[in-house]
Structure 1
Amino acid sequence: MNNFAIIVAGGSGSRMKSEFPKQFLLIGGRPVLMRTLEAFRNYSATIGLVLVLPESQFDFWGTLCEEHDFSLDYQLVAGGQTRFHSVQNGLRSIQSEEGFVAIHDGVRPFVSSQIIASSFQKAAEAGTAVTCVALKDSARLVRADGTNEAVNRSDYRLVQTPQTFRLDWMRKAFDTVAQPHFTDCASVLEASKYPIHLIEGSYENIKITTPEDLLWAEAFLTK
């Protein structure tokens, strides 16, 4: 079966307090997005890579690729109005009728080959594979009226990417209109009544969105 990965990178620098989109910021001297793409290429030389970027960022990305001598093989696709629409555009660029597709955040550069492999393996067995980790801290439920109560943290998981699915299931699930409760690809598949199966992620598989995340990223690189 054919394996694909859609890397979605449509973020801005607002929470990062940067004039540059977060996917272009440097860690260890290289843009975050390049490290993310390399993680998937290091996992497999044959996986079909699709990079979804806002079309307005194409030229800047091309300049960065020249500056960093980045020549990885991938397909560049224009993003949509929301993440949902960007994933739709990425799916439409895949010509294969069968296979599996992993959706991954462009700003999660530390995903391991082991997690990617586990994701595809679980998707091949069960149709879906959503990466997650257990909560470390205590958690409380806060209601609309301001009241709150403790909850059992073992009942909850923090969701990461990759989220990997059968390609035909993805196409059927995304053949709809965006909804407010579509917070990730798993929620889209769930709305179409597909079962969601979880796999173990890693606390190092961070999503770089705030300045302190950059500090963690540099620490991971030196480690």
Structure 2
Amino acid sequence: MMDQNFVLIVAAGKGSRMQSDLPKQYLLLHNKPVLMHTIEQFYASKTQPQIIVALHPEMEGFWESLCQEYQFHIPHAITYGGSSRFQTVKKGIAYIKNLQLQSDHCAIAVHDAARPLIAIETIDAAFEKVKEGKAVVVAKQSTDSVRLTTANKSEAIDRNIVWLVQTPQIFEASLLERAYQQEEEVTFTDDASVVEKLGNFIEIVQGHYTNIKITYPEDIEIAQFYLKKLKY
């Protein structure tokens, strides 16, 4: 059983693909910033992890002004992002370790700020898996046909064995800390790939198609549609 649970919400990116001067986590979704929706989902879960938000250091004042403007009072701590996602998560782990010196019974979830529609039930199910000693990712099964290509060939793959990885990704804290002591590699595209490099098996918790990552401008419209469908 985990004595303490944390979620590190990674919000330090600049959202260069959004064709906007404002990073995507601050864009409005149903009349309030995306990041606020994301925080609300974890706060509403039965697990209720302590919420840590990793911001770009230049955006802290802006975020504080948004919290005042939208009267957003959900408790959360702030840490600063690094030069890459890997470095941001590494700094977040160090911050949590300073809060929780005994990490043997502590779970850390890492979640993309730009996934505001993560289901509360999925959050709780993933944390429950970690209690069983699992390293967990939320993912959904592919519904598209899939092909694997190399320089010399292109071949179809059974889509039933293909999973599209989402967040949160949740790990026992000391395991995640050990994983992030490795040197950063280009193959580390998410936290699971970092943990897997140590030889750990990654368990999948079924996610949902609505748990989209807002990346392009049209994703805001899609998220708006899903949000109305899910909540109203």
Deviation at 1:220, TM superposition (A): 1.3
Aligned residue in 2 for 1:79: 81
Equivalent residue letter for 1:18? S
Supply the AA of the counterpart residue of 2:80: A
Deviations 1:182-212 (A, max 9, x none): 1100000001112211110000111111122
Provide the alpha-carbon RMSD of the alignment: 1.3
Look up the match of 2:150. Answer: 143
Conserved? CA contact 1:126–1:197, under 8 Å: no
Q: What is residue 197 of structure 1 aligned with on the other side? A: 203
Deviation at 1:140, TM superposition (A): 1.2
- In structure 2, distance between residues paired with 1:90 and 1:44: 23
Aligned ranges 1:1-223 → 2 under 5 Å: 1-44=3-46, 46-94=48-96, 95-96=99-100, 97=102, 98-145=105-152, 147-223=153-229
Instruction: Please say if residues 52 and 86 of structure 1, whose CA atoms lie closer than 8 Å, have aligned partners that are also in contact.
Output: yes
Deviation at 1:44, TM superposition (A): 4.3
Residue 140 of structure 1: SS of its match in structure 2?
Answer: strand
**SS of equivalent residue, structure 1 residue 52:** strand
For residue 13 of structure 1, report the CA deviation from its aligned partner.
Answer: 3.1
Distance 1:120 1:13 in 2: 28
Q: Distance in 2 between matches of 1:12 and 1:162?
A: 20
Structure 2 letter corresponding to 1:213: D
> Aligned-pair distance for 1:14?
2.0
- Residue pair 1:130, 1:163 contacting (<8 A) in 2 also: yes
1:61-102 deviations in Å (ceiling 9; x for gaps): 111111111121111001111111111111111122231111
Kept in 2, the 8 Å contact 1:53–1:79? The answer is yes
| Residues in 2 aligned to 1:46 and 1:208: alpha-carbon distance in whole angstroms | 24
- Cα distance in 1 for partners of 2:151, 2:71 equals 51
Q: Describe the SS at the equivalent of 2:16.
A: coil
CA distance, structure 1, for counterparts of residue 125 and residue 223 of structure 2: 23
Specify every segment of 5 or more residues in structure 1 that has no aligned partner in the other structure, as ranges.
none
How far, CA to CA, are the matches of 1:39 and 1:142 in structure 2? 38
CA distance in 2 between partners of 1:78 and 1:48 (Å): 16
Shift of 1:24: 0.3
Q: How far does the alpha carbon of each residue in 1:21-49 deviate from its partner, in whole angstroms, 9 at most, with x for none? A: 00000010000001101110111485211
Letter in structure 1 aligned against 2:184: A
- Between the two proteins, the alignment pairs up a number of residues equal to 222
Secondary structure, aligned partner of 1:161: strand
SS in 2 for 1:15: helix
Three-state SS of the structure 2 residue aligned to 1:197 is: strand
Structure 2 length-normalised TM: 0.92
